[in-house]
Structure 1
Amino acid sequence: MPQDHSEAPDVPTATWIIDALEGRLARVELEDGETVDLSLSSLPPGAREGDVLRVFEDGGDFTLEIDHAETARRRAGAQAQLDALNQAAPAGEIDL
């Protein structure tokens, strides 16, 4: 998958999420919830787990670009949910 966005259209055709990085592969969740494995070399430089990828298709070739703003928005939302759960947790030690 080429990574040069200069030839790709301006409107992404899909949005994918990097679920996990394992060895030389990345597990990526597609919009329909299906997961596929991609080579790490097909990802944009600096890609990491949780990143939102915009997918641009041009003549059967795909270009992937990290959507930093959407990634940050989703991470902030997940952190807010975690913080809310932790506020409701009992203080101190839990006896089983």
Structure 2
Amino acid sequence: MASEQHEELGISHITIDGIEGQMARVELPDGTTQDWRLSSLPKGVREGDVIKIDVQGGDVDIEIDHEETDRRLALGQRQLDRLNAKAPDGDLDL
């Protein structure tokens, strides 16, 4: 229900998937990617940052959502730690 409320308010999140030169590859809420000009994003944006876009009555506010970025990074690290905990010890023979 929280995501429905956000949609009504015009708030969405995108993730910076990569940066090359003056372009940033962004992941949209539906999982697709697009290339956006770096100049259209908040100054100082980095790969992995979550960007909050808030559209209200024709006004657009775009900012780095540091809290959501940190939350997603921590979640990813926990998932990686769980996978590594299940990995066999020692060298792998191929």
Task: Tell whether the structures are fold-level matches, with TM greater than 0.5.
Answer: yes
Matched with 2:6 is none
| 1:70 corresponds to 2:90 | no
Q: Which amino acid aligns with 1:81?
A: Q
Q: How does 1:10-49 map to 2 (within 5 A)?
A: 13-49=11-47
Is the CA contact 2:24–2:35 (under 8 Å) kept in the aligned structure 1?
yes
Q: How does 1:56-95 map to 2 (within 5 A)?
A: 56-58=54-56, 60=58, 62-95=60-93
Structure 2 unaligned segments of length 5 or more: list them: 1-8
Aligned residues: 86
Q: TM-score, normalised by structure 1?
A: 0.79
Is the CA contact 2:16–2:51 (under 8 Å) kept in the aligned structure 1?
yes
Secondary structure in 1 matching 2:80 = helix
Query: Which residue, out of 51, 54, 57, partners 1:53?
Result: 51
How far 1:34 moved relative to its partner? 1.9
Runs of 4+ aligned structure 1 residues displaced above 6 Å come to: none
Structure 1 unaligned segments of length 5 or more: list them: 1-10
Q: Provide the rounded CA distance (Å) in 2 between the counterparts of 1:16 and 1:28.
A: 6
State the Cα RMSD in Å. 1.7
Q: TM-score, normalised by structure 2?
A: 0.80
Q: Provide the rounded CA distance (Å) in 1 between the counterparts of 2:58 and 2:30.
A: 20
* 1:36-86 per-position Cα deviation (integer Å, ceiling 9, x unaligned): 111111111221111111102256563320000010000000000001111
Q: Provide the rounded CA distance (Å) in 2 between the counterparts of 1:82 and 1:38.
A: 29
Q: Provide the rounded CA distance (Å) in 2 between the counterparts of 1:59 and 1:32.
A: 23
